[in-house]
Amino acid sequence: MFTKALSLPLFAVVLSAQPVIIKTSTIIDGKGKILTNQQLTIENGKITRIGPAKDKPTIDLTGMTVMPGWIDTHVHATWYFNKEGRYETGPGRGSKTTPAEAVQFAEDNMRVTLMGGFTTVQSVGSPDDKDLRAKIAADKIPGPRLLTSLGSLNENSGDPATLREKVRKFKADGADLIKLFATASIRDGGKMTMTVDQINAICDEAKKVGLRAIVHAHASDGAAASINAGCTSIEHGTFLDDKTLDLLVSHGTFFDPNFLVLHNYLDNKPKFLGIGNYNEEGFAYMEKGLPEVAAVLKRARRHNAKIALGTDGVAGAHGRNAEEFIYRVKEGGDKPMEAITSGTSVSAASLGLSTQIGSIAEGMEADLVATNGNPLDDITNVRKVAFVMKHGKVYKGGK
């Protein structure tokens, strides 16, 4: 049986070389169903069988609640607090951090995110994500499967022709998606900043080169222009009106409102205050934004929007990504199953990966998280992550 005393990296290698049998008592499958007393067979990083017990288990997760590895569709993997406890996005002018230290901070961010139950994240995004993605993919460092935009585009990134060139450059450099800012930050009021022509150029070119385009948009005008342009997902959407939500649903666009980012900024105010637009006025906007996020999530549910789960995880939020589930239930009115499904199968669909991750089914990646306590009974049980498996490898122990 699996014990904490085993060396996890060695155990992970051993498990990957032979079938692994996992005994469970409760599974939330990621699509809204509950399975009981099932045995999972894992081979070559995939789930190959789900059914009644027939073999001696390798790992015993009875008494725990087993779910697909959680997915965070919006993080900033390389943002951190420096040695002086101040926010940084990497080495540069005024930085207190060496390049080597910045790399270590980013690697630590990804390690604690994985240990917190998130086996896939989307970073939007920094050029430094590329090396981080490669190290994780090669299993040189522990971390969630990482998708990245490698950067972003905004109103100052050029005219439509230039923006198309930049989209093609991101594609050539290996970006998994395009990130654009259609509106200002909530700290600056969230007004529309890009023109319709700019938005159309980016989203159209992204589609041509086979990339998704996700959009930072707080206000309805910027969001509506992005939806009409064929962008994939609206991030934040704090001030979206019902007409825009209807438009979003009719186009099949995903929606990702975020609670943790605002709470994290407010909880860590001294570490951000005085840097850029992290001023008193900006913090006042963020505090006022929390009830707006709750209201738009509730309205989006009534409109039957496809709601993914992203935290906008910045410095201070890494490893605490599961708090988003809690905020969505306690403040946003989600049912626990809705929140969990958002962070599994819906998020997988938003990434274009629904045939690989986001649910527990035969043929899917063996990405699993197990908690002590059932989040359906008490959503705060998502804090009690006891077991994490990614692609059939165990990174955090069970009983």
With bands split at pLDDT 50, 70 and 90, how would you rate the model's confidence at 15?
Answer: very low
> Taking all residues of the chain, what is their mean pLDDT, rounded to a whole number?
94
pLDDT above 80 (res 312): yes
| Mean pLDDT of the 313-322 span | 98
In the structure encoding, which two tokens stand for residue 123, read together? 């970073």
What's the pLDDT at 125? 83
Q: Reduced to 3 states, what is the DSSP secondary structure of residue 187?
A: helix
Q: What is the mean pLDDT of residues 300-309?
A: 98
Q: What pLDDT shows up at residue 17? A: 62
Q: Where are the alpha helices (DSSP H) in the chain?
A: 8-16, 99-115, 129-137, 160-173, 196-208, 220-228, 242-251, 260-267, 269-272, 280-302, 323-330, 336-341, 347-350
Tell me what the mean pLDDT of segment 10-21 comes to. Answer: 62
Q: What confidence tens digit (pLDDT) does each residue in 330-353 have?
A: 999 999 999 999 999 999 999 999
| Chain centroid offset of residue 250 CA | 24
Q: Examine the pLDDT at 11 and tell me if it is beyond 50.
A: no
Percent of the chain with pLDDT over 90: 89
Q: Is the pLDDT of residue 112 over 90?
A: yes
Residues in the chain, overall count: 399
Q: What is the pLDDT of residues 349-364, one digit of tens each?
A: 999 999 999 999 999 9
- In the chain, the largest separation of any two C-alpha atoms, in whole Å, equals 63
Q: Interhelix angle for 323-330 vs 260-267, to 10°?
A: 110
Categorize the per-residue pLDDT at 12 as very low, low, confident or very high, splitting at 50, 70 and 90.
very low
55 pLDDT above the threshold of 90: no
In whole angstroms, give the CA distance from residue 88 to residue 102: 9
Q: Which of 104-113, 183-192, 297-306, 314-323 has the lowest mean pLDDT?
A: 183-192
* pLDDT (mean) for 96-101: 92
Whole-model pTM?
0.94
Q: Give the model's pLDDT for residue 398.
A: 55
**pLDDT attached to residue 9:** 45
